[in-house]
Amino acid sequence: MINIANKSLAILNSKAPYGTTAGKDALDIALIFGSFEQDVSLFFQGDGVWQLINSQDGEIISVRDYLKTFSAFEFYDIENIYVNKTSLTERNLTNNFHIKEVQVLSQSEFSKKLTSHQTVLRF
């Protein structure tokens, strides 16, 4: 087997932003992979889609609001951000996100894109 120098990583976010540290822990991995110029993509499914919704403010509940760091994705060359349309619809949510680059995918597109990555980590 040949080792691949830059294996693509998909991070699948499944948890809401404030109730657990999962979203923050996943973000830390994304930023490190970005800063090492690795190919990293972010996926949001289930309650993970809440991480992308506009007008949230964690400071009201004394959370250091890591969602604000999402605006630094461009700086880290993290350009592929995908959200599952079905998860949005189930939650009666519109495409009103706090960052610009989000791509809304149908379930089959979402699955196809996710499994085009060599490594998938889920938080």
Q: Which of 42, 44, 78, 117 binds other proteins (CB under 8 A)?
A: 117
Closest approach of other proteins to the CB of residue 22, in Å: 8
CA 103 to CA 85: how far, in whole Å?
A: 9
Is 18 a binder of other proteins (CB under 8 A)?
Answer: yes
Q: Draw the binding track, 31-70, toward other proteins (x: CB under 8 A; -: no contact).
A: -xx--x-x------xxx--x--xxxxxxxxxxxx------
Burial 10-38 (b: 16+ CB within 10 A, else e): bbbbbbbbbeeebbbebbeebbebbeeeb
Is 29 a binder of other proteins (CB under 8 A)?
Answer: yes
